[in-house]
Amino acid sequence: MTADEMKRAAAAAALEFVQPGMRLGLGTGSTASWFVRLLGEKVAAGLDVVGVPTSEATRDLALSLGIRIISLDDVADLDITVDGADEFDPAFNMIKGGGGALLREKIVASSSRRMIVITDESKRVQHLGAFPLPIEVVTFAAGTTLRAIADVARANGLSGTLAFRQTKSGDRFVTDQGNWIVDASFRQILDPKALAASLLWIPGVVETGLFVGLASVIVVGSPDGITVIDKPVK
Ligand code: 5RP
């Protein structure tokens, strides 16, 4: 099974959580786009659902498939959000934002009764941090914010390269909200909750890719098949 086949299988398994009439958060990235494409097939066959996309890319994809899009502002909450992840640990902490959509992804997931995370086996880690942590920052005084991130990292016992994300053509990557992303290569994050809280004290930091306490279920595609893991009881 290729990684893409595992992602597709996880996305297909997540469709089992979808019921007619649901309001869905639609994630971003290659795994989430499998979910949107498979959902589009169901919608074409008559399934009645509405979606809130977490990026312009997902909005375009959903609309092209005939999925009805609503604004998050128009509903009290969403039934489920289905989204991918860059890393997840045994306590269901995650790093997200590899696709640059972490801010909208967190707003949408936080407004959902359940977040169903779809991944392949390669995303499972013992401790977060091998994947560089995306941190969304405002463009004003971004250098000052970068230095403050380094200070906060030090105070949390972390070090590593901090780099503004670039596009393939070498331009600075700009998020759908018009912000920049700092990718922080911390290698091992032992206390994701504490790190997220202290990074959010920096005025220029808009949001971090640390998703703590948000996932309800993680669906993992592997060569052996699909595993559905429920959030561990504390
Ligand atoms: C986008 C994300 C994605 O969910 C994450 O990067 C995983 O992407 P993929 O499914 O392509 O591996 O957080 O901001």
How much distance in Å is there from the Cα of 100 to the middle of ligand 1?
8
Q: Give the catalytic positions in this structure.
A: 105
Please compute Rg for the chain using Cα positions. 17
Residues 6+ apart with CB under 8 A from 193: 93, 210, 212, 213
Paired sense of beta strands 133-137 and 180-184, if any: antiparallel
Reduce the DSSP state of residue 188 to 3 states and report it. Answer: coil
Q: How far is CA 49 from the centre of its chain?
A: 21
Tens of pLDDT, residue by residue, the chain (234 residues): 899 999 999 999 999 999 999 999 999 999 999 999 999 999 999 999 999 999 999 999 999 999 999 999 999 999 999 999 999 999 999 999 999 999 999 999 999 999 999 999 999 999 999 999 999 999 999 999 999 999 999 999 999 999 999 999 999 999 999 999 999 999 999 999 999 999 999 999 999 999 999 999 999 999 999 999 999 887
Give the number of the atom of ligand 1 that is nearest the alpha carbon of residue 30. Answer: 11
How much distance in Å is there from the Cα of 30 to the middle of ligand 1?
6
Domain extents in the chain: 3-125+212-223, 133-204
CA separation for the pair 214, 80 (Å, rounded)? 11
Report DSSP letters for 159-175, one per residue: ---EEE-B-TTSSBP--
Going by alpha carbons, the residue nearest to atom 6 of ligand 1 is 98
> Considering only CA atoms, which of 32, 187, 188, 169 is closest in space to residue 99?
32
pTM for the model: 0.97
Paired sense of beta strands 210-211 and 180-184, if any: unpaired
Query: What token pair was written down for 32?
Result: 């989430």
Which residues' Cβ are closer than 6 Å to ligand 1? 27-32, 83-86, 96-102, 105
Classify domain 133-204 by CATH number.
3.30.70.260
Query: 3-125+212-223 adopts what CATH topology?
Result: Rossmann fold (3.40.50)
Helix axis angle for 30-44 and 56-64, nearest 10°, is 30
How much distance in Å is there from the Cα of 173 to the middle of ligand 1?
16
